[in-house]
Structure 1
Amino acid sequence: MRDDVQEFAALLRRLKERTDRSYGQLARRLAMNTSTLHRYCAGEAVPLDFAPVERFAALCAATPEERLELHRLWILAVAARQRARTQGAKPAAEAPEPAQDEIAEAPEPAQDETAEAPDEPAATPAGPAPDVTPPLSPASARPRSRRRRLLVLTAAATTLLAGLGTLAALPDDRPRGADRVQAADPARTTPAPTSRPSPPRSPAPTTTKASPSPTGSTKSAPREAGGTGAPKGTGRPKPAAGTPLAWSVDAHVWQAGCGHDYVLTRPPQQVPPPPPPQDARTWATSLGAVHGRQTMVRVSVQGRSSTAVVLEALRVRVVRRAAPLEGSVYAMDRGCGGALTPRFFDVDLDKDRPVARPQDGNDTGTPIPAMRLPYRVSATDPEVLLVTAQTRACDCSWYLELDWSSQGRTGTVRIDDAGRPFRTTGIGSLPRYVYETSDRAWVPYS
């Protein structure tokens, strides 16, 4: 019985080890908890439905023969679990027998108590006249003793309720009303209840209320994550519920790590050599360079806790359109290629309403499925969004909006370049240069 469950779990583990995905990544694509999938693979639980097992086999690229064997082992494992439950239920069915014996013996003490009950009301000094009725048999005395006991308990309960009502009507000398007002709004002040007029107070310092949709820049994220109290001098506590997302942005990603164009209004003699990719931001910012023809943005997104956050939609907002920038194009390399093309979101900025469309990637001929929203992330399961925006006919300024939902809450974060929109310009027929290392100079691109 136990062997059937373990054989099923062992085949699940073998299929999982073929992939480079973790339990969390597989569970997210199967729409189940990570701990549930781990229990299946450890033999601690067996799914009651074969549908998640079939999806698991598809994600692990199982062969038809392996899927058939997986279905056979699943049937045996489910049957083994049902047999275990049936055998465990048999001893429980015999448990009521001792209870019947205990119930049969219970009335004996009750009879002794009811026989002595008539003596209790006689101790009350203000009670009614003594009962001179001839003694009754024990069988007829029990109903009368029960009625007397019920009357005594009812009178005691009535007295207790009357006392509680009197206490509730007493005035309360504590200023609880003022405490509640101050707890709800620390900026609001309530004058003390004294005969002397209180001195005038200066109004609490006002602060600009934060927008419910954070800008999403690299500067705003640390402010949300740091600190638990209110900023000094604001007079208002920081909201307990903030954006459950944390993200970072790299707006200077190069194609395959080496190919990219920048547009500058400077002549080649005033342009320094191309930087390494990790220094591209500093190089471009110091020279006032603009992305030519294409901007690749890498957005790393994760939750702030283990609670899942669903990325609902990714939108593009164009805030300015102008004619392509005049100047010269400087290529960071003569061109390079790679065996890996990651999946990405393609954006055509020349459209009136550009849309972020998911595109497949490629790994040495093997397709990488596109990332389609909605998608789940958490603190232990981050995700990277790669957005490629292109233009031929405009100098466009734009940013991204990411919709999220978590535990019944929804929101939208703005993703831009450190508080500024991303900027991409078409290059058209502008002169193009490439850096020649042998001559240590920029030369016309050929």
Structure 2
Amino acid sequence: MPSWDATRTGATVSGEGKGKDVEEFAALLRRLKARTDRSYSQLARRLNMNASTLHRYCVGEAVPLDFAPVERFAALCGATPEERLELHRYWILAVAARQRRRDAGVTGAPVAGAAEGVVEGPVPDVAEPPVAVADDAREPAAARSPRYRRRLTLTAAAVCTVLAVWGSLSAVSTHDTATSRTGVRTGVRTNTGATAKTSPSALPAPLTWTADSQVWEIGCDHDYVIDKAPKDVPPPPVQQDAGPWAATQHAVHGGQTDVEISVQGRTSTAVVLKALRVRVVGRTAPAPGTAYSMARGCGGDISPRYFGVDLDAHRPLVRPEPGGDMGKTVPAVHLPYRVSATDPEVLLVKARAGTCDCRWYLELDWSSQGRTGTLRIDDHGEPFRTSSIKGLPHYWYGEHGWTPIG
């Protein structure tokens, strides 16, 4: 059971939504924020989002379609696995409640985000108005440009599937999930232990981490290389189902792999993240097949800050790159950086391959209280894999199925 004292309403996805689900979801967010001493602006900077957007989520004026920013927010606030599971349940209920209100012709807080599989029917472009944020760094009032135009669908079976998958991921475990023959993983890797180089007693590292390689650009755009004809490839999944979908298709990341790494200390003692390196352990000719784009009319003006890697370089380096939010620059993350149990960090690495089928992993150096060590960040014990799509047939999924691009 979660540690917070959340009021239960007994609402379900199929019940009558009158705002209670949205209110409870927002209340859980506020309880988590209350655990920290950070303002909305401070939290938003760590989450690569606009402070006013985060404020709207926390007061129930908007509900994110994508659960990923909610999960990062929960990690930043130190939520337990049980609390994250409860938060995910109320997020589903809140999104469903908004859809019922829309179907009934009731205006209310818009659903904001970029994930599929939640709302039925076309989502109109919504201009996001400025919101007064009661903290030390208010966002300037400015007209918000449209973010996404999507066609999304919610079914009871989909909700049950998401809950089941999230429940398994939220369990406290270090077991690896299933893998495909091409090395595309079906879940998020959790690592709770590594050995410090200078520790004679082989003590575990003072920090934990998770790595998710199934991250798409702005939640909706990604390429996979699949050695199958278009008629034999099913429609693209939503991002949260990308791992199982890619595994069943024996897919390889095409052109770019985005890896989201969440790092958190075990205690309140600070751990310094000193350096991030890439190790390319194999380069071969690009994988054969066809490039399939997961993009289905998505678009937006948010680009998170990240670490860029050119896998084609003779000696590839990890370079910090800035992001953007509504026309404003989001400063790049520069190491060294401090983390602790109450101060986690999410690092996004974008590794690109233009000429090779590359296999690689990352090394993260850390130090704490006289100890030093290096974490190997990989894909369930195996290297990540990224293959060039240059010269391959390229398809996207439209109204009539897979259609050539260009």
Name the TM-score class by shorter chain: 0.5 to 0.7
1:156-171 maps to which residues of 2 (within 5 A)? none
Q: Which residue of 2 aligns with 1:20?
A: 41
Tell me if 1:322 matches 2:284.
yes
Tell me if 1:359 matches 2:359.
no
- Tell me, yes or no, if the aligned pair for 2:188 and 2:212 is still in contact at 8 Å: no
Tell me if 1:298 matches 2:268.
no
Tell me if 1:405 matches 2:375.
no
CA distance in structure 2 between the aligned counterparts of 1:18 and 1:322, rounded to whole angstroms = 48
Tell me if 1:415 matches 2:385.
no
Which is higher, the Rg of structure 1 or of structure 2? 1
Shift of 1:339: 2.1
Tell me if 1:382 matches 2:315.
no
RMSD across aligned C-alpha pairs, in angstroms?
2.8
**Shift in alpha-carbon separation, 1:223–1:375, aligned structure 2, 3 A:** closer
CA distance in structure 1 between the aligned counterparts of 2:194 and 2:378, rounded to whole angstroms = 16
**Any stretches of 5+ residues in structure 1 without a counterpart?**
1-15, 26-59, 63-216, 226-237
Q: Which residue of 2 aligns with 1:444?
A: 404
CA distance in structure 1 between the aligned counterparts of 2:190 and 2:212, rounded to whole angstroms = 15
- Tell me, yes or no, if the aligned pair for 1:259 and 1:335 is still in contact at 8 Å: no
The counterpart of 2:191, out of the listed 221, 233, 239, is 221
Residues 185-211 of structure 1 show CA distances to partners (whole Å, capped at 9, x for unaligned) of xxxxxxxxxxxxxxxxxxxxxxxxxxx
Residues 133-178 of structure 1 show CA distances to partners (whole Å, capped at 9, x for unaligned) of xxxxxxxxxxxxxxxxxxxxxxxxxxxxxxxxxxxxxxxxxxxxxx
**Shift in alpha-carbon separation, 1:245–1:18, aligned structure 2, 3 A:** closer
SS at match of 1:282: helix
Q: Which residue of 1 aligns with 2:207?
A: 245
Counterpart code for 1:21: Q
1:35-434 maps to which residues of 2 (within 5 A)? 221-222=191-192, 241-434=203-396
Residues 367-412 of structure 1 show CA distances to partners (whole Å, capped at 9, x for unaligned) of 1110000000000110000000111111100000000000000000
**Shift in alpha-carbon separation, 1:406–1:435, aligned structure 2, 3 A:** same
Task: Report the identity percentage.
Answer: 56
CA distance in structure 1 between the aligned counterparts of 2:375 and 2:320, rounded to whole angstroms = 19
Relative contact order (alpha carbons < 8 A, sep ≥ 6): 1 or 2 greater? Answer: 2
Q: TM-score, normalised by structure 1?
A: 0.48
Q: Which residue of 2 aligns with 1:204?
A: none
- Tell me, yes or no, if the aligned pair for 1:246 and 1:304 is still in contact at 8 Å: yes
SS at match of 2:216: coil
CA distance in structure 2 between the aligned counterparts of 1:220 and 1:333, rounded to whole angstroms = 28
SS at match of 2:315: coil
- Tell me, yes or no, if the aligned pair for 2:308 and 2:351 is still in contact at 8 Å: yes
Residues 192-236 of structure 1 show CA distances to partners (whole Å, capped at 9, x for unaligned) of xxxxxxxxxxxxxxxxxxxxxxxxx966725779xxxxxxxxxxx
SS at match of 1:401: strand
SS at match of 2:231: helix
Shift of 1:241: 2.7
Question: Of Structure 1 and Structure 2, which has the larger fraction of its residues in helix?
Answer: 1
CA distance in structure 2 between the aligned counterparts of 1:300 and 1:324, rounded to whole angstroms = 30
- Tell me, yes or no, if the aligned pair for 2:278 and 2:361 is still in contact at 8 Å: yes
SS at match of 2:214: coil
**Any stretches of 5+ residues in structure 2 without a counterpart?**
1-36, 47-135, 139-186
Counterpart code for 1:221: N
**Shift in alpha-carbon separation, 1:276–1:61, aligned structure 2, 3 A:** closer
Q: TM-score, normalised by structure 2?
A: 0.53
**Shift in alpha-carbon separation, 1:316–1:224, aligned structure 2, 3 A:** closer
- Tell me, yes or no, if the aligned pair for 2:226 and 2:252 is still in contact at 8 Å: yes
Question: Of Structure 1 and Structure 2, which has the larger fraction of its residues in strand?
Answer: 2
CA distance in structure 1 between the aligned counterparts of 2:361 and 2:314, rounded to whole angstroms = 15
- Tell me, yes or no, if the aligned pair for 2:190 and 2:211 is still in contact at 8 Å: no
**Shift in alpha-carbon separation, 1:240–1:401, aligned structure 2, 3 A:** closer
**Shift in alpha-carbon separation, 1:337–1:419, aligned structure 2, 3 A:** same
CA distance in structure 1 between the aligned counterparts of 2:255 and 2:293, rounded to whole angstroms = 11
Shift of 1:335: 4.9
- Tell me, yes or no, if the aligned pair for 1:398 and 1:421 is still in contact at 8 Å: yes
CA distance in structure 1 between the aligned counterparts of 2:189 and 2:205, rounded to whole angstroms = 15
- Tell me, yes or no, if the aligned pair for 1:392 and 1:427 is still in contact at 8 Å: yes
